[in-house]
């Protein structure tokens, strides 16, 4: 696969070709995922759940994120690497710059921050200094306690208007991508059409510019709880290996058969 950059990702949006994204936390899976054609690898703080066995992403530290970003970077064969800024690592602008630099030095091509308009000054400072930023709106797992649990966001008019205002503010501040998590499909579709930057959905319908899933979820390894937006690609007809499952995921993202209505919120 040719090396993915901000320009190649943005070109996919303009062409209308869906962007495939998966999480990875180690060198072996990073190599397999990138060689299978996934354009973006997210080193997610979801590692708290699927690697560390935590109940949420809150306990994940900067040390954890830098370690796993380094591991993924070593195995990556061309995918764009996005690393999550973990809980309370970007509470102040000074903190944000210091910790984003650590992730970039660990091998990330971009950092991801959860939150809306309150992040705009930090985003401007990062982009001015050459650090690309991905925003994350809707259900933001680091704020799950404040949100009252893992709930769909933006269903009522006021919440939808706030989410749209946040999305536009992030774009104006300089983000290059925005993830929409657990957002009604019509709202995510409307925002994708309105925004100039590419959008990546997870539980946000199939009309966003791309899709992301946690690797362990799409491999059917999470038996305890499977969110509505997850599809087990290891259970697909003809799939006999992890590589087959990842290829099936990429194909289903590209032809927009995933997510289907059964994986979508109204």
Report the pLDDT value the prediction gives residue 148, as an integer from 0 to 100: 63
Domain 6-263 adopts which CATH fold?
TIM Barrel (3.20.20)
Report the pLDDT value the prediction gives residue 142, as an integer from 0 to 100: 85
Q: Which of 93, 117, 181, 236 is catalytic?
A: 181
Residue by residue, DSSP assigns 168-217 as HHHHHHT-SEEEEES--HHHHHHHHHH-SSEEEEESS-S-SSEEEE-HHH
Q: Are 214 and 50 in contact (CB under 8 A)?
A: yes
Distance CA 54, CA 59 (A): 7
For 69-103, write each residue's pLDDT tens digit.
999 999 999 999 999 999 999 999 999 999 999 99
Residue with tokens 């195995």: 75
- Residue 262 clears pLDDT 90, i.e. is over it: no
Stretch 147-158: mean pLDDT:
78
For 94-149, write each residue's pLDDT tens digit.
999 999 999 999 999 999 999 999 999 999 999 999 999 999 999 888 877 666 66
Q: Is 127 exposed, middle or buried (0-12, 13-18, 19+ CB in 10 A)?
A: middle
- Residue 224 clears pLDDT 80, i.e. is over it: no
Tell me the percentage of the chain whose pLDDT exceeds 70. Answer: 98
Q: Coil, strand, or helix at residue 44?
A: coil
Distance CA 78, CA 2 (A): 6
Q: Are 137 and 107 in contact (CB under 8 A)?
A: no
Distance CA 255, CA 233 (A): 15
Stretch 210-221: mean pLDDT:
96
181 given a catalytic annotation:
yes
Q: Is 37 exposed, middle or buried (0-12, 13-18, 19+ CB in 10 A)?
A: middle
């Amino acid at each position: 696969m040719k090396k993915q950059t901000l320009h190649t990702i943005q070109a996919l949006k303009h062409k209308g070709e869906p962007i495939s994204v998966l999480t990875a936390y180690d060198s072996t899976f990073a190599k397999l995922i990138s060689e299978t054609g996934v354009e973006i690898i997210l080193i997610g703080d979801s590692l708290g759940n699927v690697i560390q066995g935590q109940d949420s992403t809150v306990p994940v530290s900067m040390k954890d994120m830098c370690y796993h970003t380094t591991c993924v970077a070593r195995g990556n064969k061309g995918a764009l690497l996005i690393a999550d800024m973990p809980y309370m690592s970007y509470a102040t602008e000074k903190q944000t710059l210091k910790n984003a630099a650590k992730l970039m030095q660990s091998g990330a091509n971009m950092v991801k921050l959860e939150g809306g308009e309150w992040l705009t000054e930090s985003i401007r400072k990062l982009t001015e200094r050459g650090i690309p930023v991905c925003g994350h709106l809707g259900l933001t797992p680091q704020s799950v306690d404040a949100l009252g649990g893992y709930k769909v966001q933006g269903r009522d008019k006021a919440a939808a208007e706030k989410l749209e205002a946040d999305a536009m503010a992030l774009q104006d501040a300089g983000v290059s991508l925005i993830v929409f998590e657990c957002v009604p499909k019509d709202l995510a579709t409307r925002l994708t059409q309105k925004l100039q930057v590419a959008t990546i959905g997870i539980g946000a319908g199939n009309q966003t510019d791309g899709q992301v899933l946690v690797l362990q979820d799409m491999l059917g390894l999470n038996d305890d709880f499977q969110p509505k937006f997850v599809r087990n690609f290891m259970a697909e007809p003809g799939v006999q290996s992890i590589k087959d499952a990842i290829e099936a995921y990429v194909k289903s993202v590209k032809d927009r058969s995933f997510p289907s209505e059964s994986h979508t919120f109204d």
